[in-house]
């Protein structure tokens, strides 16, 4: 089953998504121009990046243009009502609800006394006002909207095979995968998993890159030189260019930003059968937490770990040569590693190239220092710091 899904992230399919990604990025950047023409110097970059990433994954996962980042879009007005309701719920759940470790009482309780988590969740989800209740309500609204989208697409006779949803429905129709396995509910869940996994993560990473670069003028200068040296500003990079023509951007700045702010600081695994790891005997059913965020700050592998030093990812640096190969694993590792890694990297690179071709960013004086983060399964900017902004200058 994973193979069916992985085929959608093959280089050829990703390359075909380049023009779509680029057009969303260009359209979103128009908003920055509108801001600067209106002399509104401060923009909330984390909102900008979340809308952009949601639009891109919305198109790639559902074939729907949510229209969040189009110029002048204050209220999101996608073409149809199901999509509009759905995306408003999704943005609400991403920005307002804390669907992470600190989010609901039942989850916190589950960490301390696991067997009490489910009974308490069942009770709390019925008590209006609790986080469990809000999460339950939002989840059920989201899944019913999503089911409508899937059912509508399922009925379409001719599907444009560019998005995840259409590809997976067509794979099911052509009997490449089992109908019993790929039920409508299951397909909805898969598509939603992609939306969740592919929006806040990429948006946060884009924000953190811009935040760090704008605080390090020497890095910014090198980055802009590399981007300008590539060619005329209207020349869209190909997949090959993205992989080979931006060594500073690709190998250094993005990796270092993802090291400083590891978007998934924790990854969980459940032991399937008795196993020994590092001298510890782990019985079946044991939960093991891998902490890429801690690994990324280990001074043995990253001297002066709190400093933003993209050059540490220069392949020829001594530091890089001595580093353990698994010291930096922002996309996880092994057979369940992030399926969307290449998709995310393509989107982030294209966005950075386009943004820095047109703008430089500065921290707003209104921004809190240091940046306040929410630590959960996915790292987030706190509500407070979403009010912080970057000043864009042309």
Instruction: Tell whether residue 22 is a contact of ligand HEM (CB under 6 A).
Output: no
Q: Distance between CA 67 and CA 58 in Å, rounded? A: 9
Q: Which residues pair with 309 in a beta bridge?
A: none
The tokens describing 174, both together, are 């052509």
Residue 354 contacts residue 347 (beta carbons within 8 Å): no
Q: Distance between CA 87 and CA 68 in Å, rounded? A: 9
Residue 333 CB, nearest distance to ligand HEM (Å)? 6
Instruction: Tell whether residue 65 is a contact of ligand HEM (CB under 6 A).
Output: no
Interface with ligand HEM (CB under 6 A), residue total 22
Instruction: Tell whether residue 338 is a contact of ligand HEM (CB under 6 A).
Output: yes
Instruction: Tell whether residue 339 is a contact of ligand HEM (CB under 6 A).
Output: yes
Residue 366 contacts residue 389 (beta carbons within 8 Å): yes
Residue 169 contacts residue 155 (beta carbons within 8 Å): no
Q: Please state, as a whole number, how many other Cβ atoms lie within 10 Å of the Cβ of residue 316.
A: 7
The tokens describing 185, both together, are 């509910």
Round to the nearest angstrom and report the end-to-end CA distance of the chain.
47
Residue 388 CB, nearest distance to ligand HEM (Å)? 21
CB closer to ligand HEM out of 55 and 132: 55
Question: Which helix (H) or strand (E) element contains residue 320?
Answer: helix 318-322
CB closer to ligand HEM out of 47 and 262: 262
Residue 344 CB, nearest distance to ligand HEM (Å)? 4
Residue 17 CB, nearest distance to ligand HEM (Å)? 10
The residue from 52, 83, 210, 263 that contacts ligand HEM (CB under 6 A) is 263
Instruction: Please give the backbone phi and psi of residue 16, each rounded to the nearest 5 degrees, phi first.
Output: -70, -15
> Which range of residues in 122-130, 335-343, 365-373, 384-392 is near ligand HEM by CB under 6 A?
335-343
Specify the long-range contacts of residues 218-222, CB closer than 8 Å, at least 24 apart.
219/253, 219/308, 219/310, 220/360, 222/248
The tokens describing 186, both together, are 């299951």
CB closer to ligand HEM out of 146 and 197: 197
Instruction: Tell whether residue 264 is a contact of ligand HEM (CB under 6 A).
Output: yes
The residue from 332, 363, 373, 375 that contacts ligand HEM (CB under 6 A) is 332
Q: Helix, strand or coil for residue 268?
A: strand
**Residues contacting 44, CB < 8 A, separation 6+:** 386, 387, 388, 389
CB closer to ligand HEM out of 134 and 153: 153
> Which range of residues in 225-233, 274-282, 304-312, 327-335 is near ligand HEM by CB under 6 A?
327-335
Residues 146-185 that bind ligand HEM (CB under 6 A): none
Q: Please state, as a whole number, how many other Cβ atoms lie within 10 Å of the Cβ of residue 146.
A: 25
Residue 264 CB, nearest distance to ligand HEM (Å)? 4
Instruction: Tell whether residue 90 is a contact of ligand HEM (CB under 6 A).
Output: no
Q: Distance between CA 246 and CA 250 in Å, rounded? A: 6
Q: How far is CA 109 from CA 103, 112, 266, in A?
A: 11, 5, 18
Instruction: Tell whether residue 267 is a contact of ligand HEM (CB under 6 A).
Output: yes
Instruction: Tell whether residue 208 is a contact of ligand HEM (CB under 6 A).
Output: no
Residue 187 CB, nearest distance to ligand HEM (Å)? 13
The tokens describing 388, both together, are 């912080």
The residue from 65, 117, 205, 252 that contacts ligand HEM (CB under 6 A) is 205
Using Cβ positions, the residue closest to ligand HEM within the complex turns out to be 340
Residue 158 contacts residue 207 (beta carbons within 8 Å): no
Site string for ligand HEM, 307-326 (x = CB under 6 A): --------------------
Instruction: Tell whether residue 93 is a contact of ligand HEM (CB under 6 A).
Output: no
Instruction: Tell whether residue 54 is a contact of ligand HEM (CB under 6 A).
Output: no
Residues 344-373 that bind ligand HEM (CB under 6 A): 344
Residue 157 CB, nearest distance to ligand HEM (Å)? 27
Residue 374 contacts residue 46 (beta carbons within 8 Å): no
Instruction: Tell whether residue 50 is a contact of ligand HEM (CB under 6 A).
Output: no
Q: How far is CA 3 from CA 8, 11, 177, 342, in A?
A: 9, 14, 10, 16
The residue from 58, 103, 198, 310 that contacts ligand HEM (CB under 6 A) is 198
Which residues of the shown chain bind ligand HEM in the complex (CB under 6 A)? 57, 193-194, 197-198, 201-202, 205, 263-264, 267, 330-333, 336-340, 343-344
């Amino acid at each position: 089953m994973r193979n069916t899904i992985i085929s959608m992230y093959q280089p050829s399919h990703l390359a075909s998504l380049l023009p779509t990604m680029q057009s969303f990025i260009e359209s979103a950047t128009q908003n920055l121009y509108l801001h600067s023409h209106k002399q509104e110097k401060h923009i909330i970059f984390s909102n900008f990046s979340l809308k952009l990433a949601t639009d891109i994954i919305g198109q790639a996962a559902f074939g729907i243009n949510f229209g969040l980042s189009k110029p002048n879009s204050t209220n999101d007005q996608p073409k149809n009502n199901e999509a509009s309701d759905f995306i408003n719920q999704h943005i609400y759940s991403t920005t307002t609800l804390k669907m992470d470790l600190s989010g609901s009482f039942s989850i916190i309780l589950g960490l301390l006394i696991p067997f009490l988590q489910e009974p308490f969740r069942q009770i709390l989800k019925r008590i209006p006002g609790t986080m469990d209740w809000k999460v339950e309500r939002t989840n059920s609204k989201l899944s019913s909207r999503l089911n409508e989208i899937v059912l509508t697409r399922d009925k379409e006779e001719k599907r444009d095979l560019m998005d995840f949803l259409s590809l997976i429905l067509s794979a099911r129709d052509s009997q490449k995968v089992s109908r019993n396995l790929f039920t409508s509910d299951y397909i909805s869940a898969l598509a939603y998993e992609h939306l969740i996994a592919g929006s806040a993560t990429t948006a946060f990473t884009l924000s953190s890159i811009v935040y760090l670069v704008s605080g390090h003028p020497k890095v910014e200068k090198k980055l802009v030189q590399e981007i300008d040296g590539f060619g005329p500003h209207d020349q869209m990079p190909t997949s090959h260019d993205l992989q080979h023509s931006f060594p500073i951007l690709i190998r250094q700045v993005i990796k270092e930003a993802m090291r400083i702010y590891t978007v998934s600081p924790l990854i969980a695994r459940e032991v399937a059968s008795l196993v020994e790891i590092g001298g510890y005997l782990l019985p079946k059913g044991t939960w093991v937490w891998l902490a890429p965020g801690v690994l990324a700050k280990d001074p043995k592998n990253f001297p002066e770990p709190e400093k933003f030093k993209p050059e540490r990812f220069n392949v020829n640096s001594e530091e890089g040569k001595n580093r353990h190969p698994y010291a930096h694993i922002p996309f996880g590792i092994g057979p369940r590693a992030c399926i969307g890694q290449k998709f995310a990297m393509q989107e982030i690179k294209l966005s950075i190239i386009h943004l820095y071709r047109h703008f430089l960013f500065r921290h707003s004086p209104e921004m809190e220092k240091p940046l306040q983060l929410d630590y959960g399964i996915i790292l987030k900017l706190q509500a407070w710091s979403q009010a912080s902004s970057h000043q864009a200058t042309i």
